[in-house]
Amino acid sequence: MENEQVKRKIFSRQQAKIKAESYCAYQERSQFEIRNKLYEWGLFQNDVEEIISELIESNFLNEERFALAYTLGKFRIKSWGKIKIKQALKLKRVPDKLIKKSLQSIDDDDYLTMLKRILEKKAENITETDPFKRRYLLTRYGSGKGFELELISDLLISNKL
């Protein structure tokens, strides 16, 4: 068996721009994701930065729109809390100012309702009878989903979970 090397796809600057436009049109992307994709396609730094500038000018790429879509998507679909969303956005190199703005778009009532829903659902599946261990398991689950410990604790006490 021979060692197969992964060949880098090399596109012309124009081909890469067209491909990047369709990549951005498919779903919101961060500049970090686009930059990585362009380098993956074998482009050089000057071309990468020029293409990113052109994508921003033509509104294919918008960090604020990306942060908002990502935040609401992860919250509504994956039931992630603000801590986990913030960490994921930081990994995608979204500026702190935009992260803060996107997290503010989550309604506080919806946030508490989501936390209550996931904890109640998890509580149904826990067979542990010791109330302290049970509370610990629910707290760990909620914090693993990225919710704040204080909110989890308050909710567990107020709903007697």
What is the rounded average pLDDT of the residues 74-91? 97
Q: Is the pLDDT of residue 10 over 60?
A: yes
Give the list of residues 6+ apart from residue 28 with CB closer than 8 angstroms, or none: 62, 65, 66, 69, 70
Q: Is the pLDDT of residue 2 over 90?
A: no
Rounded Cα–Cα distance for residues 36 and 62 (Å): 16
What is the rounded average pLDDT of the residues 54-69? 95
Is residue 79 within 8 A of residue 114, CB to CB? The reply is yes
Extract the tokens encoding 66: 């990306």
Q: Exposed/middle/buried for 123, CB within 10 Å: 0-12, 13-18, 19+?
A: middle
Rounded Cα–Cα distance for residues 101 and 106 (Å): 10
Residues in the chain: 161
Integer angstrom CA distances of residue 86 from 7, 17, 35: 35, 30, 21
- pLDDT at position 6: 45
- pLDDT at position 12: 83
pLDDT band at residue 54, thresholds of 50, 70 and 90?
very high
Q: Is the pLDDT of residue 1 over 50?
A: no
Q: CA Rg, the chain, in Å?
A: 21
- pLDDT at position 5: 43
What is the rounded average pLDDT of the residues 42-63? 94
Comparison of pLDDT for 110 and 6, the residue scoring more: 110
Rounded Cα–Cα distance for residues 15 and 12 (Å): 5
Rounded Cα–Cα distance for residues 57 and 50 (Å): 11
Q: Is the pLDDT of residue 32 over 50?
A: yes
Q: Is the pLDDT of residue 100 over 90?
A: yes
> What DSSP letter does each residue of 72-95 carry, written as one string?
HHHHHTT---HHHHHHHHHHTT--
Rounded Cα–Cα distance for residues 40 and 68 (Å): 26
Rounded Cα–Cα distance for residues 113 and 108 (Å): 9
pTM across the whole model: 0.86
What is the rounded average pLDDT of the residues 101-108? 96
